[in-house]
Amino acid sequence: MTRATGPGVTSPTTAGSAAPRTARREATRARLLRAATEVFADRGFHGASVEDICERAGFTRGAFYSNFGSRDDLVLALYEQHVARLAERVEQLAARESADPETILEGVFDVWAESPQAQEQWFLLQTEFTLHAIRDKEAGKAWARQQAQVRRQLARLVRRIAQEHGVELSVTPEEFVRLALAVYQGGMAQHLLEPRQVPRGSLERRFLPLVLAAVSEGPAEG
C-alpha cells in the first residue's frame, strides 16, 4: 500500500501506524480522531478533506500522515473506536447477574438511544464509506477485514452469553450478528428517510427480540 499524497487520494495504508506510539503521539491521534468526527458530521466523508481535519485539530498535514496514511485509515480507526465503546457497554450489561439475553438486547437498544445524534452521524459516515469501499478495491479489502474482525468479536460475546444462560442458537453466532446488524442498519436508514412513519429504534426494538426468540432454544424463549 502506498501513502496518500493529495487531498483526493484515500487509499488505505499502514504508513501512519508504523511509527512507535508515544504519549504525545497518542494525544495527537486522539485530537485528530475527535476533529475528524466533527468534520465528517458537518461535511460527510467525501466532503471532508485532510486539510479540513487538520485545520479543525490544529495540526499540519505532516502530523496527520504520521498517524494515519489516509482518510480511509482514519475512518477505520474511528470505527474500531466506535465498536469498542459499544462492546464495553454490552460487556457491562452482560456482567449483571439478572441479565438474560433478552435483557441484554434491550440494554443495547438503550445504549443506542443515549446519543441519537451521534448514532445517526456515525450511520451516515459508515454508509458513505461502505459505498466508497464497494467501488474502491483496496478500501473494500480493508473495510471487509475490519468488519469481519468486529463480527468475530461480537460473535464471541454472543456465544459466551448464550452459553452462560443455557441458550441454544439454531444459527451460528456469526450469522446472528450479521442479521442483527442488518436489522439495525435497515431500521436506521428507514428512520432517517421517514422519521414520522418509522420512529427512531422502533424496527430494531420490535423485530430483533423476535429474531432472537426464533433462533433460540432455552430460557430466552420464556
Instruction: Give residue 5's pLDDT.
Output: 38
Instruction: Give residue 182's pLDDT.
Output: 93
Instruction: Give residue 186's pLDDT.
Output: 95
Instruction: Give residue 154's pLDDT.
Output: 84
Mean pLDDT of successive 10-residue stretches along the chain, which has 222 residues: 40 49 87 94 93 95 94 92 81 74 79 80 92 96 92 87 88 93 93 95 92 78 45
Question: What does pTM read for this prediction?
Answer: 0.78
Instruction: Give residue 89's pLDDT.
Output: 79
Q: Is 54 exposed, middle or buried (0-12, 13-18, 19+ CB in 10 A)?
A: buried
DSSP label of 216: E
Instruction: Give residue 19's pLDDT.
Output: 54
Instruction: Give residue 97's pLDDT.
Output: 64
